[in-house]
Structure formats: structure tokens, C-alpha cells
Amino acid sequence: MLGSELVTYVTQNADYVRAVSTRAVAQTLDFDIGIIVQTGGDLLPGDGGQGTFLVVASGDGTYAMNNGNDLLLLPFGSLAGSDLDGATITDSGTTTNIEVAVSRRQVVVPSVADLYGGDWSQYDYLDTQAFTAGGSVGGAQWYKNGTGGTQTTAGTLSTDLGNGYVVDAGGNYWYLVLDGTNTVYQFGATGSGDDYDEINAGLTLINSNGGGYLYGDTHTVNTTVIIPNKVTLDLRSGSLIPGSDIDVVYVRPGGRLRNLDGDYTAATLGFSFTSEVVSLVPTSNAQGRRYQEWLDNVVIQLTLGSGTGYGLTVDASTYYVMEMRCSNVAIWGGERAINLVAGTGSQWVTHCVFNNIALTDNVYHIYNANDCSGNTYIGSTEKNTYGQFRFTGSNNKFYGLIQDSPAIEFALDNSVRCDGNNLLSVAGEDMVSVTDAGFNNRIIGDGYEYYNRASVSTYRDDWRNNINAGGRMEFRDMMISGPSPMWTQTVTATGAISSADAEFGAASGFEQNYSYTLLNCPADNDTAKLDFNGVKAWATGRRPTIHMVFGDSDEDGLFRAGLYNDANNYILVKYDGTNTGGATGAGEITVESANGGSTSSVVISSTTMTNRLNYITLVISDSTIDVYYGEWNFANSGSTGQLSKGIDILPNTADGSITTNIPVQVRLQPYIYLEADGAATSAKIFNYQIVSNYKEFR
């Protein structure tokens, strides 16, 4: 054939030389026109199965191929001369003859078996076209580094690959190039059958070489896959499918699993899955600030109901886990979506972040065991058929949307305190079912709030209407829909204290079932008292601010509320009904301060408490007590009788102040007291809030 025609063939595919053992083998392979094929040795002319061939169109060559093309022998001894009519090709930007161009090209062998089955001593770099001959996946780059090895066989291939090399028939070590794009197929994974050994070989090799990425797709594994430190296994929206009911994948701190989309339902697997899909399992104490996110972009589907497996587990049963982060996780179904398990000693799960999570129809959206504190969850949950939470430890936070009012438990495991947990944006008008063994736990819902073992209506009891951008959340609530367990109740004779509710004012939706604590004294001299049983919450230097809502009382009682030590030291709001013999029997509301028996007071209202709620704030410092007062007459009709009109009634300036006889060098406790003076009496306490360090109330 003419030289110009030959040049046209060569330049169509001038990047690689395919290397195979013999011409007969080359004739069976699916090589495109323009491919240069080296068979059985150096670039020498010949036709006995050895030599350099060019793949050409049918009829242009000498040896027919199974795919319809021909092989043309390139007799370099004379081809570079007159037979080519002086033809040249351009290679790497320089003009050269064909023989030199061929010698510069990279050699490609069909498979890894061909690599370790042949003697490739004459080359320094080789490519394998696929892992198995005729395959389409697992192609890789290799470099020669060392001689004198024992030839790899099919039986030793897995071990040798785990060490990063194969040894050819000439004893040459061929090392796999790790370039950040390696796949499990380069280690022999097929996507059918058990690919555990191949995946493990890839993970181990990349870890031993300083870390990097290993890519896969969907693979069956009959053994738990373990992702080591510094290695990312990216499944490219594929899955790891367990061959039996086993934990699917463990991630060591510093390792990462990305882009898993797995269906672990019994209908898909063909058996009931009850184990863990993805687990963070440390082999020493783990501090996540040293590591990347351990989980990213993971979708897990499990069978609905109990005993159906765990989606995401953090296992700190042996070593503590701190500050680990994961993102973009969706889990549908299963026994537990997010399962945190701490040990019983100094093995905590703490300060971990679960970002952009979507948990649906899990028996437990989030389940904690033992000391799981300070963890943050950001995302959403949805309870269609199943859904509940179990928190242990303190200061856990959920930000996002919790739908359909799941049951929530704040549990005390192994005497670990479970305090100060916060769940925000719980959807649904109905109050969730709460089991609470801690203190200061808070749930913010649509139209209600739960705080410190008691329910609150955010419309009805947050009477400060989120003033100072903090609203009620800046306060420690002591009296909401019944006294908190922190109060001690003391009554005499037929006195009683109970939780109740009633409708007040003009019905507008906000006034329904306004809850309160009722102090009831049915007979003369009956008393009802709430205090902290001698636990004094306030000392010099710890000046609290107190907010109270009380009222709708008759005129036969003596009412006191505030801070109290004894009869000589207190700060109290006092109301003596008009029918009593009390000092303020005219029905005035006063604030009185006593220090060592000396008193100072200020009158803030001369209006009876019947059909009224009184809103009082006491701002206390060492030198001053500023008093803010407002009242709502809910006997009015129309809009003025709506509770919503009474929300912002507190003035901007104080209604009165006390600057003398403020208790010093004495401790006081929260205090509410009612005494019947002459006839039956009652008082309603709607709210008592105090700003101070919570540790003072323990």
C-alpha cells in the first residue's frame, strides 16, 4: 500500500501500542482501524506470530481479524525507505519516521492476566485495557519497579494486588498507578458475585500509600467492608448489598463513605435485614476536628417496623467519639435511623454534627444510649406510621422540622444527666407525648411549647411576645400549666394546689384553654404555698429578673409571690383582698422589700384582681428594684377582651422603684403563697419566670 495511505491509518490512533502474545491472539480481538499492535517481542519485522502490525480496513492487510478488519505487518527494515516514498508522520510535535513514532507509544495489554503472564522486560510503562481480557472495566496504568520476583498466578493475584503489584514472567514488579481515580474494578471487582476481597484490597492499598479515593458502583459483599483512615469510598450512587444479615460497612475515623444509595428492604434483599448499614466504629478515641466528614450523600431504605435494622450508627461503646461530622443523609424506615451508642464509662458521643438529614417513618428517628451530649442535628423528620425520639445526655439540639408530633423521650441512662436539650420547629397543633427524666429540656411546636417537664402555649403564655429577641427562651420557667417538679407544695387544712385551664375573654382562638396553676383555700385560715423547700436560689451578686402573671382571684385572700427567706428578708408582690384585714385591705397590689426587718414598698395598682390578669416584672440589682406592671381586663367584650390585645401591655419605663431595704448577704428562694382570710379564696398563677444561672436551682 502507498506510504501516504499508511500514514492516514497510523495517525487515526497514534497514542497507544496494544501488546498481545501472538498474531493469532490479535486476530481475535476487537481492535479499531489505526491501532498498532505489538506481538511477542521487540519492534522487529516478521510474520511468524511476532512483529508490529497495523489494524487496517478489510482487504488492505494480510491477516483477517474476527471483527472484519485486517492486520498489516509493518516490516520496519525496509518500510522507512523507498516503500514509503519518504513519508513521515508528526509525533509529539516533531517530524519523525513511523518506526520512531511507534517506539514512543505506550504499550497496552488486554488484561491483568496478560500482564503477569508475559515477559515485559523491554518496557517501563504499560496499560491494561481491562481487568479481564475482552472486558470493559478495570483498565489501569502500571509502572515497572524492581526485578527478581515470583511470577503472579491466579491464586496469588488477590494478595499481590493488595500489595499494589503483579509480577510478570520475567520477574518484573509492575506497580499499579494510584492517581485518585482508581476503581474497585482494577482490583478484580465485577459487580456480580462477592466483591468484598477486591474492595478490601483497594481500600488497603490506598490507605498504605497515604490515602485517596476508591470508586465503585453496586457490589455484593458477604463480609463487612471497613473503610480505613484517609480513604474515601465513593459508590457513585451505587450500593453495597449484603449477601446475608451482616453489618454492611464500618467507617474508621478519617475514612469516608460517599454517594451510597441502598435499598435494604426485605423485598429487595430476599431476607430480613436487622443489622447496621453504615457505622462509625473507632479503634481509638476519635476527635473529629482532625478528620474530614465521615459520611456524605447517603440514601438508605429499610423495611418499615421494629427489628428492621439501623441506618446510621455511631459506636462509642469502647472509645469516645467527638466532633465527627456527616452531611446529606436520608433514611427511610428501619428500627433506628440515627443510632448513637456511648459506653458506660468515659466513652461518649459528643459534639457531633448531623447536617441536612431527612428521616422518614423510622421507629426511632434518633436513638441515644448512655452519654450522648452536645450533638447537633439539622434537617427534618416525618412520621407517617412510625416515629419517635430518644435523647440521653445534655445540650443536644435539633434544628429544622419535626413533623407529625412524634413521641419524645429525654432518658436517664446510667445516671447521666439529661438536661438542656432543645428541639425546635415541631409541626402539628397537638402537644407531643413527652417522657422527661431531666431538667430544662425544651420543645418548640406550632402553638405550644414544652419546657422543664411542663407544657406551655407559646401564644398564651409567652406574654412578653418575644421581647429582646429572646422571648421566653431567656428565662427559666417555674410555673407553666401546673407547678414544675422543682417546686415544693405545702398546704394546710383543706388547702390545695392543682393544674387547671379555662377560657378567658372574647373567643378568638388564642383564648381557648388558657392553662394555669390554681391555689385554692376553701375555708378560713387555709393556706397553699409553693417554694423550693429551703433551697435558696439567689444570693448577693446574683440579682435575677422575675416575671409573673397571676390574677382572677376573689377578694378574701392574702396573696404573696416573689423571693423569700424569712419574715424579715424578702422581695414580694403582695395583694390583700378588699374583704380581708390585711395591711393592703383596700385591694392594692404592692411590691415590698425587707432587709433585716426594715421594709420599703411601692404601690403599683389599686384595681381588684377579679376578672383580671396582672403582668409584673421585677428587675433587681443590689441598689434598685424596678417594677413594670400591666393588667388585662378579660371581662371586656370585642377585641379589647382578646388576650392578644394584652400581650404587649408592659410599659417601656418602670411604674415604680424601690431603692432601700433591698436584702443583702442573704439567700432567697422563689415563693408563692395564698391564705384565706375570713372566707374561701383562690388565686390563679399563669406564669413565674426567673432569669439566673440554672445551676443555682439544682
Q: What mean pLDDT value characterizes the chain?
A: 82
Query: Considering the chain, what percentage of its residues have pLDDT values greater than 90?
Result: 50
Question: Range with the lowest mean pLDDT among 94-103, 183-192, 509-518?
Answer: 94-103
- Ordered DSSP codes for 82-138: GGGTT--EEETTEEE-HHHHHHHSEEEES-HHHHHHS--TT-SEEEES-SSTT-SS-
Distance CA 456, CA 316 (A): 36
Distance CA 271, CA 105 (A): 52
| Residue 201 φ/ψ, nearest 5 degrees | -60, -40
CA–CA–CA angle 210, 216, 219 (5° rounding)? 125
For the stretch 372-399, pLDDT in tens is 999 999 999 999 999 999 999 999 999 9
Beta bridge partners of 653: none
CA 96 to chain centre: 61
For the stretch 672-693, pLDDT in tens is 999 999 899 999 988 887 765 3
Amino acid of residue 156:
T
Using alpha carbons, list the distances in angstroms from residue 601 to 34, 479, 574, 591, 624: 105, 25, 10, 5, 12
- pLDDT score recorded for residue 203: 96
Other Cβ atoms within 10 Å of 105 Cβ, number: 16
Of the candidates 519, 617, 511, which has an alpha carbon nearest to the alpha carbon of residue 573?
617
Please, what is the end-to-end C-alpha distance for the chain in angstroms? Answer: 99
Average pLDDT over residues 88-92: 39
Average pLDDT over residues 221-241: 97
Amino acid of residue 357:
I
Residue corresponding to grid cell 461518649? 348
Of the candidates 149, 188, 140, which has an alpha carbon nearest to the alpha carbon of residue 168?
149
- pLDDT score recorded for residue 134: 81
CA–CA–CA angle 233, 237, 243 (5° rounding)? 75
- pLDDT score recorded for residue 48: 52
Distance CA 664, CA 671 (A): 18
For the stretch 582-606, pLDDT in tens is 665 567 899 999 999 999 999 988 8
- pLDDT score recorded for residue 486: 67
Distance CA 204, CA 208 (A): 6
Other Cβ atoms within 10 Å of 660 Cβ, number: 12
Whether the CA torsion 422, 427, 431, 434 is positive or negative: it is negative
Predicted confidence band of residue 80 (pLDDT cuts 50, 70, 90): very low
For the stretch 111-121, pLDDT in tens is 999 999 988 88
- pLDDT score recorded for residue 161: 92
**Cβ-contact 318, 343 below 8 angstroms:** yes
- pLDDT score recorded for residue 448: 72
Average pLDDT over residues 62-84: 68
Q: Which triple of cell numbers denotes residue 337? A: 435511623
Check pLDDT > 60 for residue 81. Answer: no
Using alpha carbons, list the distances in angstroms from residue 7 to 79, 290, 461, 644, 695: 12, 57, 89, 90, 88
**Cβ-contact 315, 329 below 8 angstroms:** no
Check pLDDT > 50 for residue 89. Answer: no
- pLDDT score recorded for residue 444: 85
Average pLDDT over residues 194-216: 96
Check pLDDT > 60 for residue 696. Answer: no
Check pLDDT > 70 for residue 450. Answer: yes
Check pLDDT > 60 for residue 247. Answer: yes
44 versus 578: the higher-pLDDT residue is: 578
CA–CA–CA angle 167, 223, 293 (5° rounding)? 90
Average pLDDT over residues 636-640: 51
Residue corresponding to grid cell 469502647? 318
Query: Is 219-446 in CATH node 3.40.50?
Result: no
Check pLDDT > 80 for residue 308. Answer: yes
Q: What is the pTM of this model?
A: 0.62
Whether the CA torsion 415, 420, 425, 426 is positive or negative: it is positive
- pLDDT score recorded for residue 2: 40
- pLDDT score recorded for residue 499: 81
Predicted confidence band of residue 462 (pLDDT cuts 50, 70, 90): very low
Helix (H, G, I), strand (E, B) or coil at 37: strand
Distance CA 654, CA 618 (A): 9
Distance CA 83, CA 79 (A): 6
DSSP at 343: -
| Residue 52 φ/ψ, nearest 5 degrees | -115, 130
Check pLDDT > 60 for residue 465. Answer: no
Average pLDDT over residues 406-425: 90
The percent of the chain in helix, strand and coil, each rounded to the nearest 5, is 10, 40, 45
Distance CA 237, CA 231 (A): 18
Spatial strand order in the sheet of 321-322: 286-287, 321-322, 349-350, 372-373
Q: Which triple of cell numbers denotes residue 448? A: 405550644
Q: In what helix (H) or strand (E) does residue 269 lie, and over which residues does it extend?
A: helix 266-269
Whether the CA torsion 304, 305, 308, 312 is positive or negative: it is positive
- pLDDT score recorded for residue 307: 95
Ranges of each domain in the chain: 3-134+141-174, 219-446, 488-697
Check pLDDT > 60 for residue 103. Answer: no
Helix (H, G, I), strand (E, B) or coil at 277: strand
Predicted confidence band of residue 225 (pLDDT cuts 50, 70, 90): very high
**Cβ-contact 289, 251 below 8 angstroms:** no
CATH number of 488-697: 2.60.120.870
